[in-house]
Structure 1
C-alpha cells in the first residue's frame, strides 16, 4: 500500500520565513536567508515577514531581515507599513531600526494616516514624541483633512495636544466639515 502524505495548509499561506518571524526564531531567519528565501514574500493578507516580525515584537528577526535587504516600505492589505505597526506596538527600538534602514516616515495607509497621525489617533505619546524628533511632518492630515491636533482633541489626548501646540501645530486648521480643534473640544464637552 502506498504511503500518502497529508498536505498541511497554513491558514494565511505563510512562508517558513513568516513562521520564523512570528515565532521569534532569529536563527531560523538567518538560515532561511542563507538559502536565498524571498525576503519580501507576502502572505494571503499581503503581509511581509518583516511586518509579521514587527507585529510579534521580534526585534532580532526584524533586524536580520533589514540587514539583509528586506524592504521596510512594503504595505500590507491595509496599506500599513512595518513602521505603522512599530508605532501601534509602541516599539521605539524597532521603529529606530526601520528608520535606520530608510523606512518612509511619511507612508500613508488606507485611512490616509502617516505613522505620526496613527500615533496621535491611538494616543501613543512616546511614539508621537519619537516621530517628531525624527522629522515626521506634524502638519499632515488624514483622509477627511483632520490635523494631528484635531485627532488629539477628538481622541481625548491632552498631553499630545500640549505637545502639538508646542510644536507649532495650528489650532485654526479645519477638517473637511469646516471644524477646528477648538470646535471639537467644545462639542466633546472640554473646557479651557
Structure 2
C-alpha cells in the first residue's frame, strides 16, 4: 500500500520556489566558471584561473572593506589571501518561502551572490577596483547575472568604466536578463560611460531581450539629450521599433513628465525629428507620437508634432483621438497646462467635442477652467443646461466665480457679435488655419483672438 501526503497549496508553492532557486543556483555556478583570457603578452605568460573561484566569503571585515571603499583594509586582505574572485552573499528585493528550524514556513528575502569587483565598480571605488584587477580579479565575473561593467554604468562611474575596459571588459557583455552596458546608462552622469563604451566597440543598436529597446530607446525614455545625440552620431537607428512597435520618438513622447521635465523631453523629440524620426509612426495599439504626447501632456512636444504635420484626428485601436487623450488626463496634469494642448489641437483642425458630451467634459475638466473655455469658444451657438451647474463643485465655482457664471448663463443669453465673427472666420478657414492665419494682414491681438486667446470669461 503506497502512502501519500496531502500538501497544502502554500507548501506546494514553496517546493516550486525551492526548485526554481536550485535552478538559478546552477546557472550562477555556470556563470562563475568563466574562462580567463590570456594577457597581452600571451606568448610569454598565461594568466591562470584563480583558485576556488566559486568559494563564498562571509568575513564581515572584508565585506565592510569593499562596501565602504576601505582601500587600506582591502590591501591587507589582498596580501594574505586570495579574495579577488570570491562570492559575496547579498539579498535582493524578492521574497521566497523558507522553512525555519522550528518547522515554520516564512517569507524571507532571496539570497543572491555578487563579487568584490562588482561591488567596488557599482559604488565608484576606483582605487579598490584597480587593486582587485591587479590581484587577478576576473573582469567579466558576473555571479549575479550582471557584470561589473553593468554596475559601473548603472551608477554613472566613468572612471571605473575606464578601468574595466582597459583591463579587457567586454563592452557587449549581456546580462542575465538580456541587457547590455549601454542600456544601463540611464542617468545624465553616465554620458561619459556611454562614450567610453562606444570607443571600445559597444554596439549602438543592440536590443534588450524582453522589450527589444535599443540604447537610443533608453536615452529617449529618460530624456537624456546628450546620450541621444551621442548615439545618433554613432549610427543609431532613429526609427528602430521595440517589441510593441515603439520608436525612440514614441518612447520619449509617452514617458510620464512633470513640469520640470517638459523642456528636456521637447529637446529630445526635436533632436530625433531633426534626424529623420517618423512622426506618423504607430505602435501596436495604433498610437502615434501625438497620441502619446497628449497622454503625457507636454504642450511643447504637441506643438512641435503639429507643426511637422502630425495627423490630428486619427484614432488608436481603443478609438481615442489625441483630443480625447488630453481631456482624459487634464484633471491631474494641471501643472503641465493641458489647456495649451487643447487649444493647439483645435487650431490645427481637431474635431470638436459633440455638444451633448460637453457636460461630461465639464464634469472631468472643471479644475482647468481654461480647457473648458477654449472648448466652448469653438461653438457659435451653445445652449447650456441646469446639469452644468450641478457637475461643478461649489468650492470650484467660488474659485473662478466670474468664469463659471458666464458658462452657466449660456442658456439665457446669446454669444457676442465678436465671438460669432470669430466662429465664422474659423469655420471658413477650417483645415487651413495654421497656414493661412500668419499670412493675413491682421494686428497680433486680433490674430491671438482668432486662435482662441484665453480671457477667463465667455462673452
TM above 0.5, one fold? yes
- Cα 1:5–1:151 shift into 2, 3 Å: closer
Q: Give the TM-score normalised by structure 1.
A: 0.84
| 2:196 maps to 1:55 | no
- Kept in 2: contact 1:88–1:119 (CA 8 A): yes
- Kept in 1: contact 2:294–2:302 (CA 8 A): yes
1:88 CA displacement? 2.4
Number of aligned positions between the proteins: 189
1:8-38 CA distance string (max 9 Å, x none): 2238422122123234333332333233322
Q: Partners of 1:46 and 1:104 in 2: how far apart?
A: 20
Q: Partners of 1:27 and 1:187 in 2: how far apart?
A: 46
Higher RCO structure, 1 or 2 (CA under 8 Å, sep 6+): 1
RMSD, aligned α-carbons: 2.5
1:63-111 CA distance string (max 9 Å, x none): 0101121012112232222112212222111111111111121122233
- Kept in 1: contact 2:220–2:228 (CA 8 A): yes
1:138 CA displacement? 0.7
Q: Which runs of no fewer than 5 residues in structure 2 stay unpaired? A: 1-51, 58-86, 89-112, 115-142, 258-264, 330-360, 362-370, 376-459
Q: Partners of 2:192 and 2:282 in 1: how far apart?
A: 33
Q: Which runs of no fewer than 5 residues in structure 1 stay unpaired? A: none
Select the structure that is richer in strand.
2
Q: Partners of 2:314 and 2:183 in 1: how far apart?
A: 34
Alignment match, 2:203: 71
Matching residue within 150, 153, 170 for 2:291: 150
Q: Partners of 2:242 and 2:275 in 1: how far apart?
A: 19
SS at match of 1:172: coil
Structure with max Cα Rg: 2
- Kept in 1: contact 2:212–2:242 (CA 8 A): yes
Select the structure that is richer in helix.
2
Matching residue within 150, 153, 162 for 1:21: 153
Q: Partners of 1:59 and 1:184 in 2: how far apart?
A: 34
- Kept in 2: contact 1:12–1:45 (CA 8 A): no
SS at match of 1:145: coil
Q: Partners of 1:40 and 1:162 in 2: how far apart?
A: 38
- Kept in 1: contact 2:145–2:177 (CA 8 A): no
